[in-house]
Amino acid sequence: AILLAENEELLGKKVLITAGGTREALDPVRFLGNHSSGKMGYALARMAAAYGADVTLISAPSNLTTPKGVERIDVKTATEMAEAVFKYKEEQDVIIMAAAVADYRPKEFSDTKIKKKDGDLLIELERTEDILARLGKERENQVLVGFAAESDNLLENAQSKLKRKKADLIVANDISAQETGFASDDNQVTIIGKDIQVTLEKADKLEIARGVLDEVVKLLN
């Protein structure tokens, strides 16, 4: 076996991680989704477990295998993800929102398959709850980490998310960069916090997870 971590700096800590892209159903056969592969969240779960943490992974649909020693809870929608996060949040030392949570869901769900007709179809959408923002508002003694996938103005947008959501760290990810996109094994991020800005070299998502968790460990100590 490969030795992932040389220390157990998260021993005795409880870490909650969300991963993957939520799916918002329109009818029994269709949903609104996104391109998140779940790889970043699963890598974080694997690395956090290697650091000795007690890891709960709340996962939107994903084909990835559950990392060893990690408790996985499967959810589909943003609403289910929010319910699971708030069910487990109390006891957590660290919460990392790596999931791509849908911002909108169809206002109505059709129990029967929507049949095509002539002309256009208009689907009304409503906002979902912002899980990270609510965690920030109801903050207890926890380290809160969010992600920001941006196609432009990376640092500016990430800074504003850090403030707006009252997170401790935002991991900013430039999705316009090639070879580091959603399904990619690699990623290139800048981690920002109130007093820090750390740019990690392009690396596989497990190495990025290590870099993120090292910043979390610093905040815990």
Q: How far is the CB of 127 from ligand CTP (least distance, A)?
A: 8
Q: How far is the CB of 52 from ligand CTP (least distance, A)?
A: 24
Task: Between 167 and 206, name the residue whose CB sits nearer to ligand CTP.
Answer: 167
Beta carbons of 105 and 78 less than 8 angstroms apart? yes
Site for ligand CTP in 76-115 (CB under 6 A): 78, 97, 99, 101, 103
Site for ligand CTP in 137-176 (CB under 6 A): 146-149, 161
Residue 205 near which of Ca ion, ligand CTP, none (CB within 5-8 Å, type-dependent) = none
Q: Does the active-site annotation cover 141?
A: no
Residues 6 or more apart whose CB falls under 8 angstroms from that of 75 comprise: 22, 58, 59, 60, 81, 83, 84
The reply on whether position 128 binds ligand CTP by CB under 6 A is: yes
For the beta carbon of residue 96, count every other beta carbon within 10 angstroms.
31
Pick the catalytic residue from 34, 141, 157, 187.
Answer: 34
Task: Between 54 and 174, name the residue whose CB sits nearer to Ca ion.
Answer: 174
Backbone angles phi, psi at 84, to 5 degrees: -65, -45
The reply on whether position 215 binds ligand CTP by CB under 6 A is: no
For the beta carbon of residue 111, count every other beta carbon within 10 angstroms.
6
Q: How far is the CB of 173 from ligand CTP (least distance, A)?
A: 9
Q: According to CB under 5 A, which one of 9, 27, 71, 103 is a site residue for Ca ion?
A: 103
Residue 131 near which of Ca ion, ligand CTP, none (CB within 5-8 Å, type-dependent) = ligand CTP
3-class secondary structure, 209? helix
DSSP letter string over 91-155?
Answer: G-SEEEE-SB--SEEESS--SSPPPP-SS-----EEEPP-HHHHHHHT--S-EEEEEEEESS-HH
Cα–Cα distance, 35 to 149 (Å, whole number): 12
Q: How far is the CB of 97 from ligand CTP (least distance, A)?
A: 4
Beta carbons of 202 and 180 less than 8 angstroms apart? yes
Catalytic residue ranges: 34
Q: Which residues bind Ca ion (CB under 5 A)?
A: 103
Applying CB under 6 A, the residues found at the interface with ligand CTP are 78, 97, 99, 101, 103, 128-132, 146-149, 161
